[in-house]
């Protein structure tokens, strides 16, 4: 029993010493909208474009979630703002979406 608690304590401490991430990640569920990049171009953004990547079991990731892909999908040539949406369920299924607005 003493060995169990020693191993348990070691694992718990190891889990608490994780690295900070750019994107807030919840262990069970993540649904976050994050600010991205804003330019001084300002003004009302008449167009928006989105690009998305998907991750399965943190083993396989696919898709093109680049700013260029979002620009192409929205027919945008001049970018005003870039935002990010992140969703993750138990680390099993996750999506990362880039939203670009501009003209």
* pLDDT score of 36: 75
Domain ranges of the chain: 24-102
* pLDDT score of 6: 87
Structure confidence by residue, pLDDT tens digits, 43-87: 677 899 999 999 998 789 999 999 999 999 999 998 888 999 999
Contacts of 38 (CB under 8 A, 6+ apart): 80, 81, 82
Model pTM?
0.70
CA distance linking residue 17 with residue 6, whole number of Å: 17
φ, ψ of residue 60 in degrees (nearest 5):
-125, 130
**Distance from chain centroid for Cα 6:** 35
């Amino acid at each position: 029993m003493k060995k169990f608690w020693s191993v348990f304590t070691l694992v718990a401490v190891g889990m608490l010493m994780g690295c900070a991430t750019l994107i807030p990640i919840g262990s069970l569920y993540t649904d976050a909208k994050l600010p991205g990049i804003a330019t001084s171009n300002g003004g009302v953004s008449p167009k928006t474009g989105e690009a998305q990547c998907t991750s399965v079991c943190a083993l396989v990731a696919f898709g093109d979630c680049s700013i260029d892909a979002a620009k192409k999908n929205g027919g945008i040539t001049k970018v005003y703002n870039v935002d990010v949406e992140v969703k993750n369920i138990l680390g099993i299924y996750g999506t990362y979406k880039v939203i670009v607005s501009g003209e």
